[in-house]
Structure 1
Amino acid sequence: MAKPIMDLIVKQDIEQLIHDHTIMIFMKGSKLEPMCGFSNSVIRIFNTFQIPYYTFNVLENTNIRQGIKIYSDWPTIPQVYIKGEFIGGADIIIGLYQSKKLQEVIEGQLHS
């Protein structure tokens, strides 16, 4: 089965968002109003670190919503990027947080 092709403009928009923000979370809803349980879990975790992060509501842009899945080759939302590196979705973020490794990832990326 052929991999879906992403529009070049959508790819550039995604890359710009990831490049412009040290911590970028593509999610359903916003920081203040997550629209799904997985997005809510990720936001609650990042709020514990008391560090700045940026979110993009994929429900407001179908092209980004579909494009980010192609870009990362990851089928679900939310998706977390730190300093341009794809870290994972909700399950991975929750696992990293529970094992105390997410803080190491954040500190390692932010101080590199």
Structure 2
Amino acid sequence: MSDVQQRIDDLVKNNRVMLFMKGSAQFPMCGFSGRAIQILKACGATDLKTFNVLDDAEVRQGIKDYANWPTIPQLYINGEFVGGSDIMMEMYESGELQQTLEAK
């Protein structure tokens, strides 16, 4: 595992709710990342950690390889890849995301 993959793996496994996004929770830098934050806030996700991929080009590319998923944002809950903002919205609308966040 490369250094960047190890860094990503550590972030995913050491934070219960981990969102790789463009910008920060306070200042999202793209519409999809902004929507992801809004969805998580609506779900009451209190233990959310974020990583701004715009600050680190290695992680920006590495996260795409890590999950074999081409877009950002990417949400991980309990070490498992959930998806991007479209999947998050579908899960939120069905109530599945809230259930996933509530499960410890």
For the criterion TM > 0.5, the same-fold answer is yes
Superposed CA RMSD: 1.0
Q: CA deviation at 1:46?
A: 0.8
The share of aligned pairs that are identical, in percent, is: 48
- 1:65 corresponds in structure 2 to 60
Instruction: Give the number of the structure whose alpha-carbon radius of gyration is greater.
Output: 1
SS of residue matched to 1:33: coil
TM-score by length of 1: 0.88
Partner of residue 35 from structure 1, selected from 29, 53, 76? 29
Instruction: Note the alpha carbon deviations across 1:21-54, whole angstroms, 9 max, x for none.
Output: 1000000000000000000001001112332200
TM-score by length of 2: 0.95
Q: CA deviation at 1:104?
A: 1.2
Higher RCO (C-alpha under 8 Å, 6+ residues apart): 2
1:18-97 correspondence to structure 2 within 5 Å: 18-50=12-44, 51-97=46-92
Moved over 3 A (4+): none
Runs of at least 5 residues in structure 2 that lack an aligned partner in the other structure: none
Q: Distance in 1 between matches of 2:59 and 2:48?
A: 18
Q: Distance in 2 between matches of 1:90 and 1:48?
A: 14
